C-alpha cells in the first residue's frame, strides 16, 4: 500500500485508536465554517498544508474580540477582520493546496520560546517486527517564530525538560510510549512502513501530544548531536 503524506489522513488513522485519540489536538479540514468554529472554541489555531513538510507554509491564527484575528506566518504577523479575509489571503499565497485547521497547543517553553521533541521510531524488515525508539532530540523555535526548528545544535530531550523546568525522565518515557503506540497503528495501515519521526509536544500542564508523524524524517540533526550513538542506531535499523 502506498504511504501517502497527508496530515488529514494520518490524523484519522491515529484517531481511530481510542488510546491515541486523546493525544491528538482537535483537527478538521479547513473551510470557512470549520475555521470559524475552531476559533470560537479554542481562540488560537494552526493551519497546515495537508502535504506539508519541514514546517513550511504553516499559519497561526489568534482571535481577538468577535471578528478580529492576528495571522502569523514565520515571523510576520498581520491583523485581519473576518475569516473570509483570512481564507482569501491563504488562497492567494498557496493556490490549490488543501489545508487542515488544528487546535494550537500551548507548548512548554525554553527561555520563552516553544519547543517540542522529535522521537524516531523504527522497525526491522518483516511485518511482525516490533517498533523501537531509536533516537530523540528537542527542537526550539527561533526568536519571533512559533514553528519549532533546529536553529543551532539540537538539544537532548532530558536537557530540554530540565531547561523548561517541567519534569524529568518520566515525561520522556511517556512520550516514547505514545510514539510507539502511534507507530504500531500506522504500521497496521502501512505494512511496509519502517520508520516514523514523530513531533511530540508537551503542553504547560505536562500533557503529552502527538503533533504529527513524518514518514521521511530529516536525519541530519541526529548527526549533530554530541552523542553519535543515536545516529548509528538509526542507520543500522535502516539497513536491517
d(CA 68, CA 83): 9
Q: What is the pLDDT of residues 203-222, one digit of tens each?
A: 989 999 999 999 999 999 99
Q: Which of 195, 204, 182, 202 is nearest to 139 (CA)?
A: 202
Q: What is the tens place of the pLDDT at every residue in 44-63?
A: 999 999 987 766 788 899 99
Query: Which range, of 99-108, 128-137, 140-149, averages the lowest pLDDT?
Result: 140-149
What share of the chain in percent tops pLDDT 70? 96
Cβ density class 124-160: b for 16+ within 10 Å, e for less: eeeeeeebebbbbbbbbbeeebbbbebeeebbbbeeb
pTM of the predicted structure, to 2 decimals: 0.92
Amino acid at each position: 500500500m502506498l504511504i501517502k503524506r497527508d496530515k488529514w489522513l494520518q490524523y484519522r488513522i491515529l484517531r481511530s485508536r481510542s488510546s491515541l485519540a486523546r493525544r491528538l489536538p482537535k483537527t478538521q479540514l479547513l473551510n470557512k465554517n470549520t475555521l470559524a468554529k475552531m476559533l470560537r472554541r479554542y481562540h488560537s489555531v494552526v493551519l497546515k498544508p495537508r502535504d506539508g513538510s519541514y514546517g513550511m507554509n504553516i499559519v497561526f491564527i489568534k482571535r481577538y474580540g468577535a471578528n478580529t484575528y492576528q495571522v502569523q506566518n514565520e515571523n510576520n504577523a498581520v491583523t485581519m477582520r473576518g475569516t473570509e479575509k483570512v481564507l482569501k489571503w491563504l488562497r492567494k499565497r498557496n493556490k490549490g493546496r488543501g489545508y487542515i485547521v488544528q487546535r494550537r497547543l500551548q507548548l512548554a517553553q525554553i527561555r520563552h520560546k516553544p519547543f517540542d521533541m522529535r522521537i524516531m521510531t523504527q522497525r526491522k524488515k518483516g511485518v511482525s517486527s516490533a517498533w523501537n525508539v531509536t533516537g530523540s532530540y528537542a527542537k526550539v523555535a527561533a526568536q519571533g517564530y512559533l514553528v519549532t526548528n533546529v536553529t543551532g545544535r539540537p538539544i537532548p530531550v532530558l536537557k530540554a525538560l530540565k531547561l523548561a523546568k517541567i519534569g524529568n525522565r518520566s515525561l520522556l518515557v511517556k512520550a516514547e510510549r505514545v510514539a510507539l503506540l502511534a507507530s504500531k497503528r500506522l504500521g497496521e495501515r502501512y505494512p511496509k512502513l519502517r520508520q516514523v519521526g514523530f513531533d511530540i509536544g508537551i503542553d504547560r500542564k505536562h500533557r503529552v501530544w502527538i503533533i504529527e508523524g513524518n514518514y521521511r524524517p530529516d536525519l541530519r540533526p541526529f548527526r549533530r548531536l554530541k552523542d553519535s550513538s543515536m545516529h548509528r542506531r538509526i542507520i543500522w535499523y535502516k539497513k536491517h
